[in-house]
Structure 1
Amino acid sequence: MWRIYGFIVNEMCPSVYSLHLHLEDKHQVTFRANEDLINVLNSDRSAKSMLTELFALNQVDENARTLLYKEFPEFYVWSQQYKEWTCRKKKTVIGQIVTANPFEGERYYLRILLNHVRGPLSFEDLRTVDGVVAPTFHEAATMHGLLQRDSSLQDCLHEASLYQMSFSLRRLFAIILVYCNPTNPRKLWERFEQDMSVDFRSTEDSMSDVRMQVLRSISFTLESMGKDINSFHLLDDNICFGEDQLESREIDDELAVEIPEEDIVASEALNSKQRHVYHSVLGKVFSNEAATFFVDGPAGTGKTFLYKALLAAVRSRKLVALATASSGVAASILPGG
């Protein structure tokens, strides 16, 4: 609607300052292509950012210590050239900390703290609550009472545990970890571990063996959603399933894709143009060289026939070939698509 009515799209009043957000020593550093990287890293200027200089100013300026990070641009101006904050003399400006996704972990909780803690002196000072230094920004935000409790998630799992099979409960637990951003995943794990392990319990298995089987099942579900179980810190140490578990379920599934007999012999029925593409692609694949190919042709000219021959050739050598398409219908006509 803004564009339809012809309003200005390249100017804004008042101006909005985008404030840098980064963990300690994780800020971006720009440099010219001909500069020596060692000199860049050793430069005092490279060590400075909007956030680090906020801490520095708070240590010497009492007025600055009364402000939140997002309020800083209303009273101070950031000089990109000199990498410093100076007092604002004119113009109204609004500050906005760049966004962070809850899945980013510590960077997200750092943003929460910066939006509520006035006059922080350092990253460690942000993690200090009532004289106690929290090990993470997540715990500091929890100690400040800035995070919601997981009571609704506990109620959800408790209700499901009354009637759901253990496998379904483990899948629900994984979904909650990925999509509901619980503040204390480990507490949820400890609360419902027994309910999620019923189908693995036997008189012969020890408690530690049962626990690893449950965690392995949860890990498979998390992997299918692109997540690593160790990122949720369910145990004190990283969870490792041994050498035989290093390959993910997705790789196992791809290696198990059946190769139709007609696709294996399809290479013998290719026409000259199809055969040219066939050998060009496989030449790159089997020599482990990166390449991109674009196969063009009207419907009915044998593109899918060629793709099936390529997939069969790669998979017959016990390699993984991912068959993807821009629609479900197109993918469904490819083996394992």
Structure 2
Amino acid sequence: MTLIKSGRLLHQYVVDVYSSIEEDRLRWHRLNQDVLRAELYSNVCDAVGKGDTDARTVGKRFILPPSFTGGPRYLIEKYHDAMAICRQFGNPDLFITMTANPNWKEIKDHLAAYGGDSPNDRPDIACRVFKMKLDQLLDDFKKGTFFAPYTAALHRIEFQKRGLPHAHILLWFGDHSRTPSPEEIDKIISAELPDKQKDPEAYELVAKHMIHGPCGLDRPQSPCMENHVCAKKFPRPFTESTSIDKSGYIIYRRRKNENANVLKDGILLDNASVIPYNIEILKKYAAHINVEWCNRTSAIKYLFKYITKGVDRATVLVEKGPDPPPSENGSDPQTSEKGKEKVKKARNEIKEYQDCRYLSACESMWRTFAYSIHKRQPSVMKLVVHLEGEHNITIKDTDNLGRVIQKPGIEKTMFTEWMVLCRTSAFARTLTYVQIPEFFTWNNSSKVWSERKRGTSIGRVVTVHPASGDRYYLRILINKVKGPRSYTELRTFNGVTYPDFKSTCCARGLLANDAEWHESMAELNTWGTPSQLREMFVTLLIYCHVANPKELWDKCWKTLSEDILYKKRKEFKHPQLEIDDAKLELYTLLELEKALRNQEHTLTDFPGMPTPDPLLLKELGNTLWQQELQYNVAEEKSRHDTQYTLLNREQLDVYQAIIESTQEDYGKLFFPYYYQAAGLPTPVSISQSI
């Protein structure tokens, strides 16, 4: 009891405990860098054939593998798994963020029974209660308590620096191709204060948990303020009905209601500051639970990147140190003897993971309790693909390579055993490689595919870069060919066996008219960000001999431009900026030109590729010009008609003179000047010059 009542000292204790646990796991990876090596099976066989049986002479070292929970490779794997679910079911329908409430009744009751001044003093209780609430919420989603039962779900646990855990949840309902109606969205999500008289409980919950701010002019020093603007775009504009904007974002109904307001920190806030929520969920769980509809947004990949962004880090200041002293012979110690090549330090992923690592008490307790930080349903299976005899095997530093290659099953992989399965199963011969996990399970110990008896799984074939040679063309084939029984059968088409997989792809017509490059871009688009898509496009232009780059550009430029509007809104500090397709294409070409110049190329090197007009780009970069163009024609006309009736005789003369000069293209300059006596109308005079 002394320990759990020690307040902030308990925080320090649990952080120290989990730091020791994590350091012990990292130490194992660090000390086994020289023990575990991976090498191609064929290369080990070649080494044995040459009489070289020393394992220290071959292989590459592991760094920090995906099996290390929370590491960068682990998160990349989870991101690709999430995008595989997206490929199967489309964009998720709902994005839900649930944050722990330290004032939950269960936490208060425990503190009352066992003592404690504040919920913040007991991170262990906060984590346990949050875990129970989260499990119950996910179970409610599965049963369809609040809306239709999900067909797929994914959630990720994160921890705020102040300590509270929160969960990002994505739900799929199945019918991803349908655009929801405003009525359907309003039925699930609200962004307005409930009526205080009709439903006082709902009003109190929304006022307590779902109000943003105050910020903006009411509180410019609020943490959400960046460059005098709220980073979360609050307060939001009022709107009479729910709609979907050009980017696919939902603009929720926020009606202006003088009677709907709440006093927070001495400032009166209204519907413009309400965070979208579901009232039934809010009533049951009494916590901050943000609910957003997201199945039409084009920024879905950033949503997945956001929930797999990795661990928190502390802020540090990095300063340039003094230059190293010259060596005795006067040479620079950072350069080689020949001259002038700098020594490149080897990358250490373990150190990178630990550097500036921020660990809160709640995260320490969560991880010490061995609670999961990432879950998905259905499961996703990563499917390896390799050329014949070129799969990776793991060997120890002290192994005799002759004995290694004689181990039973050393030559078996899930890829080779898929072809073995196709020899014995007629049903397997009707499936492509990526469809196999839906109907069969892989036993990694016995290295055998078995018929699935329950559940399902989504297959995800590992990505292969177009510069990988024949392995890239093998991957193209296995996505098209069903049920091959051997590598030879994969290379055979219409009774002719070809020498390599590229020739087979050509014979099947898979490479005609740049088909392989169109397919590469289409597949990358299922998980790659726009910047990664632009990098791939540049790679294809430079290294892959694209026959018709203009056709490839026309087909995929919109996916390359998905982040441009966001960047320009941030650059111009203009949240409501809209860009038409012609200008958007020019901006995207400019980004492509920058990437090509980094590779010492330019768009003019590729015949047929459009090039940005420098004069137009200069105009597009004018922030004031862009802001002046963003106006509502109907709104401005209504304002004009109202103010026109209020003009006096002198003002009307000025108006007519300016309009006449504009319509007749006289090009006159006008200098209005006026004076005003107390209580009298404002007379205006003008001087003109041509």
TM over 0.5, shorter chain: no
Structure showing greater relative contact order (alpha-carbon pairs closer than 8 Å, 6 or more residues apart): 2
Task: Identify, as 1 or 2, the structure richer in strand.
Answer: 2
- Please identify the structure whose Cα radius of gyration is greater: 2
